């Protein structure tokens, strides 16, 4: 996170949102929160890929770009 220029407290915020989103996906029913969780996953993963691209932090063979974009594709497919 510090390589990308973000403060470390952002990890706590993102981690909390991910836990709440995972709970919302597992709980049966409630289709509207599931839509919001899928939108959040899309924004999170595309934002991660864009952050790495703008920081010139591609990783080996572009791994830091390919992994979030593949998660984005899985999210869209679901």
Output the CA torsion sign for 49, 21, 35, 11: negative
pLDDT tens-digit profile of 34-49?
A: 899 999 999 999 999 9
Domain membership of residue 65 (yes or no) is yes
Domain membership of residue 2 (yes or no) is no
Counted domains in the chain:
1
d(CA 8, CA 64): 19
Domain membership of residue 3 (yes or no) is no
- Give the structural domain span for 68: 9-77
0.85 surpassed by pTM: no
Reduced to 3 states, what is the DSSP secondary structure of residue 52?
helix
d(CA 47, CA 65): 10
Domain membership of residue 71 (yes or no) is yes
Torsion of CA 49, 54, 60, 62, to 10 degrees: 50
d(CA 46, CA 39): 11
Domain membership of residue 56 (yes or no) is yes
Locate 33 and state its tokens: 């929160």
pLDDT at position 46: 95
């Amino acid at each position: 996170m510090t390589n990308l220029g973000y403060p470390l407290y952002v990890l706590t915020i993102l981690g909390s949102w991910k836990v709440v989103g995972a709970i919302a996906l597992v709980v049966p029913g409630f289709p509207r929160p599931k839509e919001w969780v899928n939108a959040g996953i899309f924004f999170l993963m595309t934002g991660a890929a864009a952050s790495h691209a703008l920081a010139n932090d591609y990783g080996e063979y572009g791994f830091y770009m390919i992994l979030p974009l593949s998660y984005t594709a899985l999210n869209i497919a679901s």
